[in-house]
Amino acid sequence: MQKCFDEIPPVGVVTTKSISFAPRAGYAEPIYVRYGPGCYANAVGLANPGAEAFLKELETIEIPADKFLLVSIFGSDLESFLAAARVLAPVADGFELNFSCPHAAGYGAELGQELELVRAITRAVVAETGLPVLVKLSPMLAALARTAEAAIEAGAAGLTLINTAGPGLVAVEEHPVLSNRVGGLSGDAIRPLGLRAVELVRKAVGPDPVIIGMGGIAAPEHVRQYAQAGANLFGVGSALTGLDSRRMRDFFIALERGTVAGVGRTGYERSCDSAAPMDYFPTRIVQRIDFDESLFKLILEDLPGELRPGSMAGKFFFIWLPGVGEKPFAIFSVAEKSIVVRVVGNFTRRLSTLESGAKLYLRGPYGQGVPDPGPGALVHVGGGTGIASLFEIGEHFRGRLQFFLLGARTRTHLFDLDKFKGLGTVLTATDDGSAGRHGPVIELVEQAALEAGEHPIFINCGPAPMVERAFEIERRFSPPDRIIGSIEYLTSCGVGICGKCATPSGMLSCIDGPFLRWEEFQARRR
């Protein structure tokens, strides 16, 4: 959010995801799917950390005087809306009341159908907080115009139109994709519903209330269409799919320029479609190799596209098992078509039971690859499953002087050392002392750095404490732009749309990373 306020001049209002008084886990992955060009469905399930925790996050944000923080809240009744509003009022410039999410039983669109409840909740939040309140409605509402009028009569400053439509069920082959089975539709497919909703409501409420128009906005002509229908402000969601921080900024600047200049195309397609690969690629397991009861390798029949060894350096795929879930994994070796997996929870446990011939689906690849660090020797530091990302990176730099410092809890988790030895010098460490140095892998950094010569490039991959500690040691040997790392952030959509993988510096690990430079990790929110 801070990055949006600071770095994207055309963005005047930032709307938060919807927040409830109590934390809510939301649905398991997959949560976001593309079912046609520019057409998406999502079922995030109103995941949020709860009002108190979100307040702490928002307190760190500085909102410029000419910008507006619109905090979206939801609840199951009047009391729970009010409870969230009371907590968040000190940081909000205004509230948006979510009466329109179509995929969470007991919330959102279910409440929006009860006109008198919308009226009562709106009146109560306005009276309690004294802040501007916008009411967000669904295009599916039979009594859309009358509900909008009721919200304005109750004191709302305006309306946000529209939320996602539906819900709908998106399937690949015979399998529903979203873990919730159904989700809200967004993007190009719903622009006609959004335009119709804005036109209808503007006629009903008259010229004064603010209307934020959204639903399928991707190009200047869409903004003008919403303005023509009666909107004064314009929201963008799905069109940001697959845009990293830099391209998102470029997108908004082009959108504003094109709108003001009255041009149609500005180098961007007139669609919410994204270059991000979101199709599911079916493949099968050729072989499963168990290193021990909690670590195994899968050799796959095929990978999507024309991949060569080293081309998956710093990238990752999602594996989707219909009916089970979807989780991110690095390709261990393109040549071998392999993935190495550590069993940590439900998904990885189910994966560990699959036999040769079992079918699974890949989505990707995602990630920016490894930032170009310039010439020089490399010191790779891998801990736990972080090791699985390092072989492709080593392949990418094949021919250079390379050191692989590989750490694991025990000997059996130090896999395929011969492959690494084909690329460079290997030093190992284990927590239990069963192989290599007894202790954390970062204790090997100094030795390798001295052997690597002046200003080696460091590539770190593993748990956050390991990577952060490694950064501190490596700063003694190399400038910050030669220190690179990847920390395993919760990664759900992979295309920059759900915000779950945000790093402390505000970058999205899935789309800006997952490998980032030391400085990019360090830049904290002000």
Ligand X SMILES: Cc1cc2nc3c(=O)[nH]c(=O)nc-3n(C[C@H](O)[C@H](O)[C@H](O)COP(=O)(O)O)c2cc1C
Binding site for ligand X (CB under 6 A): 17-18, 32, 40, 42, 44, 72, 98, 101, 136, 163-164, 186-187, 190, 214-217, 236-239, 497-498
- In the bound state with ligand X, the residue whose beta carbon lies nearer, of 40 and 403, is 40
DSSP sequence for 157-197: SEEEE---EEEEE-EETTEE-STTSEEEEEEGGGHHHHHHH
Distance between CA atoms of residues 501 and 490, nearest Å:
5
DSSP conformational letter for 361: E
* 98 interface partner picked from ligand X, ligand FES, ligand FAD, none, CB below 5 to 8 A per type: ligand X
For ligand FES (CB under 6 A), the number of binding residues is 13
- In the bound state with ligand FAD, the residue whose beta carbon lies nearer, of 148 and 295, is 295
Q: Shortest distance, CB of residue 399 to ligand FAD, whole angstroms?
A: 24
Q: Which helix (H) or strand (E) holds 144?
A: helix 144-153
* 340 interface partner picked from ligand X, ligand FAD, ligand FES, none, CB below 5 to 8 A per type: ligand FAD
101 in active site = yes
Residue nearest to ligand FAD (CB): 345
Q: Shortest distance, CB of residue 367 to ligand FES, whole angstroms?
A: 10
Catalytic residue among 4, 39, 101, 272: 101
The SS3 assignment for 214 reads strand
Q: Where along the sequence are the contacts to ligand FAD (CB under 6 A)? A: 29, 316, 327-330, 340-342, 344-348, 385, 388, 488, 490-492, 514
Q: Shortest distance, CB of residue 299 to ligand X, whole angstroms?
A: 34
* 471 interface partner picked from ligand FES, ligand FAD, ligand X, none, CB below 5 to 8 A per type: none
Of 226, 151, 156, 242, nearest to 194 by C-alpha is: 226
- In the bound state with ligand FAD, the residue whose beta carbon lies nearer, of 345 and 357, is 345
Q: Shortest distance, CB of residue 101 to ligand X, whole angstroms?
A: 6
- In the bound state with ligand X, the residue whose beta carbon lies nearer, of 74 and 280, is 74
CA dihedral sign, ordered 255, 19, 127, 139: positive
Q: Is 516 in the site for ligand FES (CB under 6 A)?
A: no
Site for ligand FES in 207-246 (CB under 6 A): none
Distance between CA atoms of residues 208 and 129, nearest Å:
21
- In the bound state with ligand FAD, the residue whose beta carbon lies nearer, of 349 and 421, is 349
CB of 128 within 8 A of CB of 84? Answer: no
Site string for ligand FES, 434-473 (x = CB under 6 A): ----------------------------------------
CB of 494 within 8 A of CB of 365? Answer: no
Neighbouring-strand partners of residue 430: 408, 438
Name 208's Cβ contacts closer than 8 Å, sequence gap at least 6.
none
Site string for ligand FES, 482-501 (x = CB under 6 A): ---------xxxx-xxxxxx
The SS3 assignment for 412 reads helix
| Intra-chain end-to-end CA distance of the chain, in Å | 12
Q: Shortest distance, CB of residue 33 to ligand FAD, whole angstroms?
A: 15
Q: Dihedral angle at the C-alpha atoms of 126, 127, 128, 130, nearest 10 degrees?
A: 60
Q: Using CB under 6 A, which of 461, 510, 513, 515 touches ligand FES?
A: 510
Q: Is 426 in the site for ligand FES (CB under 6 A)?
A: no
Q: Shortest distance, CB of residue 31 to ligand X, whole angstroms?
A: 7
> Which region, judged by CB under 6 A, interacts with ligand FES, from 1-9, 81-89, 181-189, 507-515?
507-515
Joined tokens for residue 84: 């969230």
> Which region, judged by CB under 6 A, interacts with ligand FES, from 385-393, 402-410, 427-435, 503-511?
503-511
Distance between CA atoms of residues 107 and 180, nearest Å:
15
- In the bound state with ligand FAD, the residue whose beta carbon lies nearer, of 204 and 417, is 417
- In the bound state with ligand FAD, the residue whose beta carbon lies nearer, of 233 and 388, is 388
- In the bound state with ligand FAD, the residue whose beta carbon lies nearer, of 287 and 346, is 346
Name 81's Cβ contacts closer than 8 Å, sequence gap at least 6.
73, 74, 75, 97, 121, 124, 125
**Locate tokens 């989707």: which residue?**
320
Burial class (CB in 10 A: 0-12, 13-18, 19+), 352: middle
503-510, Cβ contacts within 8 angstroms, sequence gap of 24 or more:
506/1, 506/2, 506/3, 507/3, 507/245, 508/244, 508/245, 510/328, 510/366, 510/367
- In the bound state with ligand FES, the residue whose beta carbon lies nearer, of 15 and 491, is 491
Site string for ligand FES, 134-173 (x = CB under 6 A): ----------------------------------------
Distance between CA atoms of residues 458 and 480, nearest Å:
10
CB of 478 within 8 A of CB of 412? Answer: no
Joined tokens for residue 147: 């509900």
Distance between CA atoms of residues 224 and 201, nearest Å:
17
* 342 interface partner picked from ligand FES, ligand X, ligand FAD, none, CB below 5 to 8 A per type: ligand FAD
Q: Shortest distance, CB of residue 470 to ligand FES, whole angstroms?
A: 23
Q: Is 42 in the site for ligand FES (CB under 6 A)?
A: no
Q: Shortest distance, CB of residue 515 to ligand FES, whole angstroms?
A: 14
Cis peptide before 167 (omega within 30 of 0): yes
Name the site residues for ligand FES (rule: CB under 6 A).
491-494, 496-501, 508, 510-511
Residues assigned a catalytic role? 101
